[in-house]
Amino acid sequence: MTKAYVLVVDDEPDIRELVREILEDEGYEVTTAESAGAARRVLQERPPQLVLLDIWMPGEDGISLLKEWAQAGACPFPVVMISGHGTVETAVEATRHGAIDFVEKPLSMGKLLATVEQALKAPAAEPAAAPVSVIEPVGRSAVMRGLREQAERLAATDSWVLITGEPGSGRKCLGRYIHGLSGRRAGPLVEVAAGTLAGESAAVELFGQERDGQIVPGRLEAAAGGTLILDGAADLDAGAQTRLASAIEAGRFQRVGGAAQIPLDVRMIAVTRYDLAAEARAGRFRQDLAYALSVIPLAVPPLREHAEDIPELVAFHVDRLVETEQLGYRRFTVAAQNRLRNHHWQGNVQELHNLVQRLLVLGDGVDIEVGEVEEAIAQRPPDRLGGDWPQALDLPLREAREHFERAYLQKQLQRAEGSVAQLARLAGMERTHLYRKLRALGIDPRDAGETGGGRP
């Protein structure tokens, strides 16, 4: 008895015939197509119950064909993608447009049959409401290869992850990468900045609220079935820490003002520049919450520890800026790239991105020579706070504001000779709020005599 009617779309004749033979031996009815156009002709004659679709084909690729099928809403049949060299971004895009699984080349008979059987049981996936920006960490150095391998192993589990590293090193990018590889990739990815949460508003933001019969879901509820990235985890308000620790221990939570028990169904990826265990020992963070968030620690290296990746990173950022912001293409000469490799990148990959963007926007000519790079690195117009304001002007408003606040408080802290009480008077801030702000900005009062002003 025939099990189901399957369409196999692949430009490689050997692959098409191999899949046909495997499926027909198991009782499936199979039709093949060598291109997007051939697949359309088959669909006009008879819609299949399942499509196995190659991503990379001459002419029109499989993702474009999948988008076409999904234009009217949910894809009318389950689609399993076939790929020998796909990326995480490709996988996420295919899932967003309705693909429900992937089969990798070279094909495994057992994996293929199990995937087909499972796909026929499942309803066709609906496109996600919003795309998730997932970028594979760039670099061929041993340290970056090791980081990707660790991330890929972690993605295969549902364990909670603590990502540490210096600001600008790509911590959130790594968190998105793990989500994009994980079994939760079809679920939502929600990001929340812990430093912005304080008092009762923190509870509402995280857990939601019920008032006058109206329900406002919080971030934990919005991330159900997916991943929540808690950015700046060490800066979480003490009250929010207590509520979150209780929710984790119970495995459920209540909305503010509500009585319903809501299951805690998220994968938490905490991101911070600090050592949470050290913060807990110093009494600045709940120990039980630090343990809960630190199930699997993952450290992102600073750019200076993999400077050999800078040419590849430069090429990546140039291509991305040209594509996403329609900037004119420019090429860094070898001498210019070598100068970048020997620069001390205090702001890490984010600082490199900002410099590349500035050179594409402000420079002339196709080639970027070493002299132009020197000028961009040395650019320091006079200002009373001594901050790198050209770089700050390249940042989003919130980050630019943090840049100013950090420079301002560092300057006032020097005037106060490291005294937080005196700093509170100079800045006109309540001391408890000031301590929270200093920690959120990475300023240690003990470093008052230094210009760096932050902890690693």
Looking at the structure, tell me whether residues 212 and 342 fall in a common domain: no
Residue 432 has pLDDT above 70, yes or no: no
CB-based contact 423:409 (threshold 8 Å): yes
The pLDDT of residue 336 is above 80: yes
Domain annotation covers residue 220: yes
Of 3, 22, 6, give the one whose Cα is nearest residue 14.
22
Are 209 and 288 in the same domain?
yes
User: Same domain for 279 and 321?
Assistant: no
Confidence category of residue 89, pLDDT binned at 50, 70, 90? low
Tell me the mean pLDDT in the region 50-77. 80
User: CATH no. for residue 404?
Assistant: 1.10.10
Q: What is the mean pLDDT of residues 179-187?
A: 89
Please tell me whether residues 363 and 343 are part of one structural domain: yes
Let me know if residue 136 belongs to a domain: no
Q: Please say whether the dihedral angle defined by the alpha carbons of residues 447, 452, 455 and 456, taken in this order, is positive or negative.
A: negative
Read off the CATH number of the domain in which 317 is found. Answer: 1.10.8.60
* In a shared domain, residues 151 and 287: yes
Quick: pLDDT tens for 113-131: 888 888 887 654 444 444 4
178 with 101, same domain: the answer is no
How many domains, the chain?
A: 4
Q: Please give the sequence-ordered ranges of beta strands (E in DSSP) within 85-175, or none if there are none.
A: 101-104, 161-164
Give the pLDDT confidence of 274-285 residue by residue, as tens digits: 999 999 999 989
pLDDT for position 199: 65
Please identify, among 91, 121, 151, the residue that sits at the C-terminal boundary of a domain.
121
**Spatial CB neighbours of 196, under 8 Å, sequence gap ≥ 6:** none
CA 365/CA 355 separation, integer angstroms: 17
Predicted local distance difference test score (pLDDT) of residue 198: 67
Assess whether 107 and 24 both reside in one domain.
yes
- Enter the tokens of residue 131: 């795309």
Distance between CA atoms of residues 102 and 100, nearest Å: 7
Partners of 162 in beta bridges: 270, 297
| Residue 130 lies inside a defined structural domain of this protein | no
CA 275 – CA 285 distance, rounded (Å)? 10
Residues 6+ apart with CB under 8 A from 374: 339
pLDDT of residue 453: 32
Whole-number Cα distances in Å, 335 to 247, 351, 366: 54, 19, 15
The C-alpha atoms of residue 371 and residue 377 are separated, in whole angstroms, by: 10
Say whether both 11 and 85 belong to one domain: yes
Res 449 pLDDT > 50:
no
Contact 179, 135 (CB under 8 A): no
Instruction: Could you list the beta-strand ranges (E) of 339-400.
Output: 367-368
Structure-token pair, residue 29: 């009815």
Residue 302 has pLDDT above 90, yes or no: yes
For the stretch 160-170, pLDDT in tens is 999 999 988 99
State the CATH number of the domain containing residue 79. Answer: 3.40.50.2300
| In the chain, % of residues over pLDDT 90 | 38
3-state secondary structure of 164: strand
Within a domain: 389: no
Query: Residue 3 contacts by C-beta under 8 Å, 6 or more apart in sequence?
Result: 26, 27, 28, 29, 120
Backbone torsion region of residue 453, taken as left when φ is above 0, otherwise alpha when ψ lies between -120 and 50, otherwise beta: left
**Model confidence pLDDT, tens digit, residues 222-246:** 899 999 999 989 888 888 899 999 9
User: Locate tokens 């003990």: which residue?
Assistant: 446
Average pLDDT, the chain: 82
Q: By three-state DSSP, how is residue 223 classified?
A: coil
Beta strand 296-299 pairing with 214-216: unpaired
Percent of the chain beyond pLDDT 70?
A: 84
How far from 212 is each of 199, 206, 209, 257, 258, CA to CA, in Å?
21, 19, 10, 10, 10
Q: Could you tell me how many residues make up the chain?
A: 456
- Contacts of residue 7, Cβ cutoff 8 Å, sequence gap at least 6: 30, 31, 32, 33, 39, 42, 43, 48, 50, 51, 52
CA distance from start to end of the chain: 66
What's the pLDDT at 397?
63
Q: What is the pLDDT of residue 185?
A: 87
Please give the average per-residue pLDDT across 304-331, as a whole number. 91
159 and 44 in a single domain? The answer is no
Domain that holds residue 403: 398-447
Three-class secondary structure of residue 12 per DSSP? coil
pLDDT of residue 2: 54
